[in-house]
Amino acid sequence: MMRAVHRFREHTIAPNRGPDAEPITGALECMVCGAMSPVSEDRVEPQDWALGHVREHPAHLDYREHVTLPYRVHPGNWL
């Protein structure tokens, strides 16, 4: 019979700011009809989309921001 030994390790998680990290992206969603702006690495493109959307649909005044922020887990000390 084999016996397994398990060790526990501390870990932390933080936004991945490394050179190989995916970019932070964002988009806006119209909360009235569910239409979405293009996903973008800057805030200008989604905001421009929302302003154009509200011109076409004057009652669509509420939006939700969707942000994709990559995270990385960092192994710490063995316990």
Tell me the Cα Rg of the chain: 21
Q: Which two tokens stand for residue 3?
A: 């016996």
Each residue's pLDDT tens digit, 28-55? 999 999 999 999 999 999 999 999 999 9
Q: Give me the residues paired with residue 63 across strands.
A: 30
pLDDT grade, residue 2 (50/70/90)?
Answer: confident
Domain ranges, ordered by start, for the chain: 9-78
Quick one: tokens of 23? 């970019």
Using alpha carbons, select from 32, 23, 21, 40 the residue that is nearest to residue 63.
32
15: enclosing H helix or E strand: strand 9-15
Residue position matching structure tokens 């669509």: 60
Q: Tens digits of per-residue pLDDT, 56-68?
A: 999 999 999 999 9
Please say whether the beta carbons of 60 and 53 come within 8 A: yes
